[in-house]
Structure 1
């Protein structure tokens, strides 16, 4: 199993708006069986306005296949529309669960 952690750094005051979008996207991804255990986290001791979107997948191959489906799913597209208006940058971490 792998954990994929997308770390977003938001414009000041915009984290709440991104959280709303990511929760909707996570529900759509989980409902479509694209990923499991989608969760959204916000900073308590990280740089201000940091939002993390974390999901689990059986393998890197399964995640890559699912990631390609994201772009064609209208529910996910709708949930994520305009998300870059809230974000200044970020990065992705992929972890293997031992």
Structure 2
């Protein structure tokens, strides 16, 4: 199994807004584990944690979001404007033992 951490460094005052957007938009994603905000360390971070059986399943999830169907349209509507609320981001992929 692999765990993926997508980290977003938000503009001040926007971390909770971005976290809420992700939580609502990803509510039906079976791979989503947690949406977290920082309590220590760097400020204004939102981290999405997801899990997959393997890297192939992770890659296939991207194909799912590239499709133009009703589910992805609803997700994109919920995420509209999130790009304006963060400064930078990164992704870390971990092998779970």
TM-score tier by shorter-chain length is 0.7 to 0.9
When the two structures are superposed, what TM-score results if normalisation uses the length of structure 1? 0.86
Under a length normalisation based on structure 2, what TM-score does the superposition of the two structures give?
A: 0.87
* Alignment size in residue pairs: 93
3-state DSSP of counterpart to 2:27? helix
1:63 aligned onto 2:58? yes
Q: Deviations over 1:8-50 (max 9, x none)?
A: 00000011110111101221323xxxx2x43111101121101
Give the gaps of 5 or more residues in structure 2.
Answer: none
Runs of 4+ in 1 over 4 A off after TM superposition: none
Residues of 2 paired with 1:68 and 1:82: CA distance? Answer: 22
Q: Alpha-carbon deviation of 1:85?
A: 1.0
Q: Does 1:54 align with 2:49?
A: yes
